[in-house]
Amino acid sequence: METNVTNIIIEKVKKSRISEVDFSNLPFGKVHSDHMLVCDYRDGAWQTPRITPYQGITLDPSAKIFHYGQSVFEGMKAYKDENGKVWLFRPDENQKRLNISSKRISIPELPREIFMDGLKTLVQIEKDWVPTTPGSSLYIRPFVFASGTGLHASPADQYKFFIVCAPSGPYFAGKVRVLIEEKYSRAANGGVGYAKAGGNYAGQFYPTQLAIQKGYQQVIWTDDNTHEYIEEAGAMNIFVRINDTLLTSPVSDRILDGVTRKSVIDIARAEGITVEIRKVRVEELVSASKNGSLKEMFGAGTAAVISPISGFGYRGSDYDLPEMKDSYASLLKKKITDIQYNKADDPFGWRFEVI
């Protein structure tokens, strides 16, 4: 991974906490590694990044993050192969998207070298925290938020960029049942749905809890105007297989341009699978389920990679999906994870060696 060398101030912990961690039983995102990266924006410029021991932070009660929600984040992973080498997967895409999100929320864009050099240096320091049990990885969370103070409704004058790491086990186990949402919307035209802004996810929680109360695990979001078209599955991009064609919604103001989504599309096409990027009507799903042409549905995202859907609910009726022996979901997940864990060739150039 070629980047411009950035001067990074490094303060290491006196004693690692790694011996306290049960790497055979890792929850997702709850155990944190020894160090974190932090970089401040003030006086109109991003300052020298620092790697410090993982610790709490102190903010003024009038910090604008608390009042106006200027916050964006990314999600990515580091993987360790059988020879102990550590890899990242398409980190350039995360760096670009963080700045796309930041621009939409009026957060100053972060120089590429601070993100890339900071990321690489932090993961090198935390290499022993990258787990080796199957399906596990070091989850990496870069994020930026407004730390400048004031109660006036305007962008802040100070920000903080962090990268924290969490050794984590698999995100989901098994298939999920989803409810097609027709009242609440995840995002709207002209809004911030395409940005990884914290508020997008906060707004999802309540409708998702309502779906859970009805016996589903997640929500399929539909368009805000007519609720005729499916758009995302929970916090993931959604794919549908009708007969042997793989369908997914086009990105827009409302839909996140997912790194896993892009990877699924490219791998599927390389495998000879017909992919259509177009709007998918809810009624098309229902009709395909009834006539037997609906073969698969799955979500795609960094945390779970691919999460198969076993059935969906719509207007009081439930529709089950068949068990597929050679599913696209399992094929595509294996292709992606084999690249991520350095178990297969990487014809796309997505894999980056850290150490």
pLDDT digits (tens, 9 = 90+) for 300-313: 999 999 999 999 99
**Which CATH number, 1.10.580.10, 3.30.1370.100, 3.30.300.160, 3.30.470.10, labels domain 9-168?**
3.30.470.10
Which letter does DSSP use for residue 268 in this model? H
| Same topology between domain 9-168 and domain 176-339 | no
Inform me whether the pLDDT recorded for 174 exceeds 80.
no
**Beta strand pairing status for 86-89 and 76-80?**
antiparallel
Q: 170 in the Ramachandran plot: left (φ > 0), alpha (ψ -120 to 50) or beta?
A: beta
User: Rounded CA gap, 336 and 79, in Å?
Assistant: 12
User: Rounded CA gap, 136 and 170, in Å?
Assistant: 6
Question: Could you report the per-residue pLDDT of 10-58, keeping only the tens digit for each?
Answer: 999 999 999 999 999 999 999 999 999 999 999 999 999 999 999 999 9
Inform me whether the pLDDT recorded for 287 exceeds 60.
yes
Question: Could you report the per-residue pLDDT of 197-207, keeping only the tens digit for each?
Answer: 999 999 999 99
Inform me whether the pLDDT recorded for 1 exceeds 70.
no
Inform me whether the pLDDT recorded for 59 exceeds 60.
yes
Average pLDDT, the chain: 95
pLDDT band at 170 (very low <50, low <70, confident <90, very high): confident
Inform me whether the pLDDT recorded for 5 exceeds 50.
no
Question: Could you report the per-residue pLDDT of 99-132, keeping only the tens digit for each?
Answer: 999 999 999 999 999 999 999 999 999 999 999 9
What burial letters (b/e) apply to 231-251, b meaning 16+ CB within 10 Å? bbbbbbbbbbbbeeebbbbeb
What pLDDT, on a 0 to 100 scale, did the predictor assign at position 173?
Answer: 59
Contact 354, 86 (CB under 8 A): yes
Residue tagged 């991003």 (tokens) = 46
Per-domain residue ranges for the chain?
9-168, 176-339
Say how many residues make up the chain: 355
Q: Which two tokens mark 343?
A: 């178990």
What pLDDT, on a 0 to 100 scale, did the predictor assign at position 6?
Answer: 63
The CA-atom distances, in angstroms, between 175 and each of 120, 231, 260, 282, 321 are 34, 19, 18, 20, 11
Provide the angle, in degrees to the nearest 10, between the axes of the packed helices 328-340 and 259-270: 110
What pLDDT, on a 0 to 100 scale, did the predictor assign at position 134?
Answer: 87
For residues 2-9, average pLDDT: 64
User: Rounded CA gap, 44 and 108, in Å?
Assistant: 9
Question: Could you report the per-residue pLDDT of 289-342, keeping only the tens digit for each?
Answer: 999 999 999 999 999 999 999 999 999 999 999 999 899 999 999 999 999 999
CATH code for the domain defined by 176-339:
3.20.10.10
Q: Which two tokens mark 139?
A: 């989850």
**Beta strand pairing status for 50-53 and 9-10?**
parallel
User: Rounded CA gap, 195 and 290, in Å?
Assistant: 36
What pLDDT, on a 0 to 100 scale, did the predictor assign at position 135?
Answer: 87
User: Rounded CA gap, 200 and 184, in Å?
Assistant: 12
End-to-end C-alpha distance for the chain, whole angstroms: 10
On the 0-12 / 13-18 / 19+ scale of CB atoms within 10 A, 138 is buried
User: Rounded CA gap, 305 and 192, in Å?
Assistant: 23
Q: Smallest Cα–Cα separation from 74: which of 223, 235, 234?
A: 235
User: Rounded CA gap, 287 and 297, in Å?
Assistant: 14
Contact 232, 208 (CB under 8 A): no
User: Rounded CA gap, 147 and 159, in Å?
Assistant: 5
What pLDDT, on a 0 to 100 scale, did the predictor assign at position 171?
Answer: 74
On the 0-12 / 13-18 / 19+ scale of CB atoms within 10 A, 319 is middle
